[in-house]
Amino acid sequence: MPPTRLTRLKTYHVDDGAKRGPLTMSQVRFHPTERVLLAACADRRIAVWNLDDKEATVKNQTAVAGVLAGPHNAGWVRCLDVSPDGKWLVTGGSDRHLKLWAWAAGKPADAPTRDTEAHTGWVEAVAFAPDGKRIVTAGADSAVKVWDAATLAPVKTLTGHTGFLRDLAFAPDGSVFVSGGEDGRLLVWDATTFALLRTITFGEANDQFGQNPQLSGVHRLHVSRDGKWLAAAGGKKLLVFALATGEPVATENLDAQVAFSPTDDVLAAGSNNAKVWAYDPAKFQPGKPDKTGKPTNPGPVPGKELAQIKLGDFALGMRFSANGKLLGLGQSGGKVEVWEVA
Amino acid sequence: MPRPATPPAVCDRTEHRLSRRLFLQGAAGGLGLGGFGRLFAAPNAARAAAQEKHVILVFMSGGPSQFETWDPKTGRPTGGPHLNTQTSVPGLRIDEYMTNLARLANKMAVIRSMTSDLGDHMEGHYLAQTGHKPTNVVATAPHWLSVCARQKPLAGGLPGYVMLGAESGGNMAVPGPGFLGAAFQGLYCPGKGQGPEDLPAAAGKDLDAFRRRQALRQGMSGRFTPGRDTAAVHSHDAAFGVVERLLANRDLFDLSKEPTKRAEKYGPTALGRDCLLAARLVERGVPFVRVQHQNGLAWDKHRRAFDSQRHLTREFDTAVGALIDDLIDRGLWDKTLVVLMGEFGRTPEILGQGPPGRNHWTKSWSMSMGGCGVKPGVVVGSTNEDGTAIKDRPVTIPDLFATFYTLLGIDYRTELEFEGRPVPLTENGKGTPIKEVL
């Protein structure tokens, strides 16, 4: 049975008491095998929560308190991922470093097992391959890099983007991965040969070199559970593409965030105002050509809208849990809301 | 009935647009009727001297974060995501995206202990560029470059003060000449490396045609003025005189004459074009140039600041780095004061109006200057570990202005006069030159 509703469960919050403003969220992940929520935030450490801890009210805020772990030496953690077997955490930071942390007892180790200077710019995105053997990173130096997941030894550097990169994602079968960034392009790479298979134009690249965050190309991207659809969100719009052909098949006026459920045909997108659909993949269609044969925009996401969620300004961080039953939504006030998908 | 073609001898509409704008600027100045000529020439031969000093002010409108420019607190809770980089001055580290300014730090001075108290953009802009707080009580204070244009007048046919770009919107206009009058208004150029707007075409025949029409205008004025109040007529004629001098000097603003290799060093941005134009103007003898970094409070990073801050800092560093390199290479560094500043700084707390971002902060902020005798490699003042307070050597805006004027050979204790009242160069005559940079 496909999901039919979303229900807000709990709010998770983290703060270390230093007087410096809230720890704004930027990425959210669920541990694949344990009931743990993780987030990259405005700090050199990541936020970690036990999903089952109780909420408590502190200074008019009712939330589950988290801890900060996995420290980089400086800057902010920009991205994180957990290996499919749940045994390793990888973090990338504005300090250019990629760190691999052993996972035990519900949290990362105090010190990284491996640490490497990965890019000449900020490490903006990181993902484990579905088989756990490789890690791929995307940096502000426009490079996509492949690493051995056990040793962090470099395997390959892929070039082709210009400008800062923002996100990358594997297809669930591990056959391809996709990178996207400020140049407004999505590059589809063969995960075995590292050949560039396809270039997909998202658009909205900014000629002011990112001065307007509303533009600046692709912010986040994700691949559907069957590997057929690629969704990308930019400063003003969401586009869903057929991954095999690069044809746009749906569009919405939603910005910045996007995530597919790994278990159901459910798509979430948007930051300030997020929407969640049980989408109908049979009805994804490119726009019909106009009288001159020029392609037109595709229609909205087909299917049933399950929820509209107001998150407030600059709410960043969106991901489903491995079993598809939870949706984590990061917010600017140092919080993550977790919703049940049922 | 078909409309007759416009005969070629009839005035071109564009020259009227430009001259009308110049005339109205003069009328708005209140005291400037008939004074346009002074924008281009020294009225007092005894005061005029060969121009020996220049200023290029690159105004970082919006309030640049000291944490993401000259006073990083990397690794601290207030530090933000940026790292820092070692400069050519031992022990001085600045933002990671200021790689050119890091290389050139041994040519510049940095002040980390600026302090002021007006945290509103309009008021902050005004104070940071006039040395006075906005008030309705006394005369409208002039921009400090208008003061320089008056105190260090230029002999010859070039403009004394040129503005490249301006802040737009509401009450955040760049301060004008104030009570000094339109003669000391900066010649406005719209930015992106463009010269004055509405300048008639440059072709030789157009200049000849303009001169024929100018002779006709002057002849008619000469027959009209005897026995009449002539101030408005002189001002009107002077406005066309400005146009004529701009036409004769239009090469001044023509960036197409710059070699591509030189232009490329400044970067493909509006600021890059304007810094290149500023260098060109100064090379050719224009004494005072103000460059606006973007229109729209570019450095005012309240919201999702760190998505775009590194781009802004990088484009600034590229353009200004190339400017400083150019001035040094062309032997102009010792005569040109380069000032890099905004109207205030930004909060240590990364709160913003849409986190993460930083709000306005006047207690402790940074700026940099160099050239024209500024002691190179100097760092004045410091802030505490988290950048929440000045640790030592607070510097006020009047101190800064006293320093600017001293470097330019202007007595900072000078008092100008408005309606018989003395008006000091900074509010209440306060301010002491920063001895560490002199």
Q: Whole-angstrom Cα distance, residue B299 to residue B419?
A: 38
Nearest to A332 among B83, B310, B354 (CB): B354
At residue B135 the predicted structure's pLDDT band, cuts being 50, 70 and 90, is confident
Residue A23 in tokens? 């720890």
At residue B11 the predicted structure's pLDDT band, cuts being 50, 70 and 90, is very low
CB contact under 8 A, A75 and B74: yes
Q: How far is B96 from chain A (nearest CA, A)?
A: 10
This prediction's pTM: 0.89
Residue A59, pLDDT score = 80
Q: Which residues in B have their CB inside 8 Å of a CB on A?
A: 74-75, 77-83, 269, 294, 298, 303-304, 306-308, 310-312, 314-315, 348-356, 386, 388
CB distance A251 to A239 below 8 Å:
yes
* Top-ranked range on mean pLDDT: pick from A126-140, A299-313, B47-61: A126-140
Q: What's the mean pLDDT in A40-50?
A: 96
Burial label, B18 (beta-carbon count in 10 A; 0-12, 13-18, 19+): buried
Evaluate the CA torsion angle B156, B160, B162, B168 in order and state its sign: negative
Q: How far is A306 from chain B (nearest CA, A)?
A: 27
Question: Nearest-CA neighbor of A255 among A241, A270, A240?
Answer: A270
Q: What's the mean pLDDT in B322-331?
A: 97
Given a cut of 80, whether residue B355 has pLDDT beyond it is no
- A256 close contact with B: CB closer than 8 A: no
Residue B256, pLDDT score = 93
Q: What's the mean pLDDT in A45-73?
A: 94
Helices B270-283 and B305-329: angle between axes, nearest 10 degrees = 20
Residue B38, pLDDT score = 36
A146-150, A287-291, B23-27, B149-153: least confidently modelled range: B23-27
Chain A environment of B312 (Cβ under 8 Å): 211
DSSP structure class, residue B190: -
CB contact under 8 A, B308 and A211: yes
Q: What's the mean pLDDT in A55-80?
A: 94
Nearest to B355 among A16, A75, A332 (CB): A332
Given a cut of 70, whether residue B31 has pLDDT beyond it is no
Residue B40, pLDDT score = 38
pLDDT in tens, B384-402: 999 999 999 999 999 999 9
Given a cut of 80, whether residue B357 has pLDDT beyond it is yes
CB distance A318 to A329 below 8 Å:
yes
Residue B349, pLDDT score = 93
Residue B20, pLDDT score = 54
Q: How far is B296 from chain A (nearest CA, A)?
A: 11
Query: Higher confidence at residue B7 or residue B129?
Result: B129
A66-80, B68-82, B408-422: least confidently modelled range: B408-422
**Which residues of A, range 66-85, sit inside 8 Å of B by Cβ?**
73-76, 78
At residue B426 the predicted structure's pLDDT band, cuts being 50, 70 and 90, is confident
CB distance B426 to B133 below 8 Å:
no
Residue B77, pLDDT score = 92
Chain A environment of B388 (Cβ under 8 Å): 19
Using alpha carbons only, what angle is made at residue A284 by residues A280 and A288, rounded to the nearest 5 degrees?
A: 145
CB distance B171 to B122 below 8 Å:
yes
Q: What's the mean pLDDT in B344-367?
A: 91
Q: How far is A244 from chain B (nearest CA, A)?
A: 31
Chain B environment of A140 (Cβ under 8 Å): 310
pLDDT in tens, A171-200: 999 999 999 999 999 999 999 999 999 999
Q: What percent of chain A has pLDDT over 70?
A: 99
* ipTM reported for the complex, 2 dp: 0.93
Given a cut of 80, whether residue A212 has pLDDT beyond it is no
Radius of gyration of chain A (CA): 19
Smallest CA–CA distance from A235 into chain B, residue: B307
- A95 close contact with B: CB closer than 8 A: yes
Identity of residue A242: A
Given a cut of 70, whether residue B244 has pLDDT beyond it is no
Report the relative pairing of strands B360-361 and A67-69 from DSSP bridges. unpaired
At residue B9 the predicted structure's pLDDT band, cuts being 50, 70 and 90, is very low
Q: How far is B254 from chain A (nearest CA, A)?
A: 23
* Top-ranked range on mean pLDDT: pick from A33-37, B75-79, B172-176, B225-229: A33-37
Please tell me the total number of residues recorded for chain A in this structure.
342
Given a cut of 70, whether residue B34 has pLDDT beyond it is no
Given a cut of 80, whether residue B236 has pLDDT beyond it is no
Q: Whole-angstrom Cα distance, residue A183 to residue A163?
A: 6
Q: What's the mean pLDDT in B177-186?
A: 88
Residue B250, pLDDT score = 72
Strand-by-strand arrangement of the A273-279 sheet: A258-260, A266-269, A273-279, A303-310
At residue A84 the predicted structure's pLDDT band, cuts being 50, 70 and 90, is very high
At residue B1 the predicted structure's pLDDT band, cuts being 50, 70 and 90, is very low
A215-229, A314-328, B90-104, B422-436: least confidently modelled range: B422-436
Given a cut of 80, whether residue B156 has pLDDT beyond it is no
